[in-house]
Structure 1
């Protein structure tokens, strides 16, 4: 199970190209602009300027998703959170937004409209939470 990391990017919202490039970086680990550019251009139907990749990498760094280090004559980017950690952060933020509604009637009406599969998943989450809390109490 992935726990919520202590570190969070400054800005969670990402555009489609930022998301695509971040996924490439998660897959490759450490990258140069050329690594990302080559990966995108490996799709014969894609075109993207080298400078555009550089701009997106710098933007992701400013948003707190990446770290950039200079090694000799090139820059190396690497993620500050894993893909699983990013999913946990985004899920947590969405849950907090949902709970911020604060009106029990709205939440209950939403829950009442869920299908059986969704209810089963919520029950599985509840059981997992109970097990985690029990483990903490036993320590």
Structure 2
């Protein structure tokens, strides 16, 4: 995931493999990276788009916290949102931060 987050655009399996193997003494196999990217796509952490005859992968969320939040929302839906609002309603600083984030959108 870190290689994909560091990239400026979506990456193919080969590009991810090359980025990962730059810092490794024992290189990873192409099929290993392809399997991991496919599983992360199936779990909703990555988005896959066609690029020529292959696929390019990019993160759905900007970091692990984003992935965790997305997972909680998918599993618990409105209950998760209601609990979040309840927690924020008692913290004026959190309300201010949330308002700033909403204003940026």
Greater Rg over alpha carbons, structure? 1
User: Normalising by the residue count of structure 1, what TM-score does the alignment of the two structures yield?
Assistant: 0.48
* Residue deviations 1:27-55 (CA, integer Å, cap 9, x gap): 11310011110011101423210100000
**Which structure's relative contact order is higher, taking Cα pairs within 8 Å and 6+ residues apart?**
1
Contact 2:61 2:67 in 1 (8 A): no
- Relative to total residues, which structure has the larger strand share, 1 or 2? 2
1:30 aligns with 2:20: no
The alpha-carbon distance between structure 1 residues 61 and 23, as it changes in their structure 2 partners (threshold 3 A), is same
Name stretches of at least 5 consecutive residues in structure 1 with no aligned partner: 1-21, 94-125
Secondary structure in 2 matching 1:48:
coil
User: Normalising by the residue count of structure 2, what TM-score does the alignment of the two structures yield?
Assistant: 0.62
Distance 1:67 1:44 in 2: 26
RMSD: 2.7
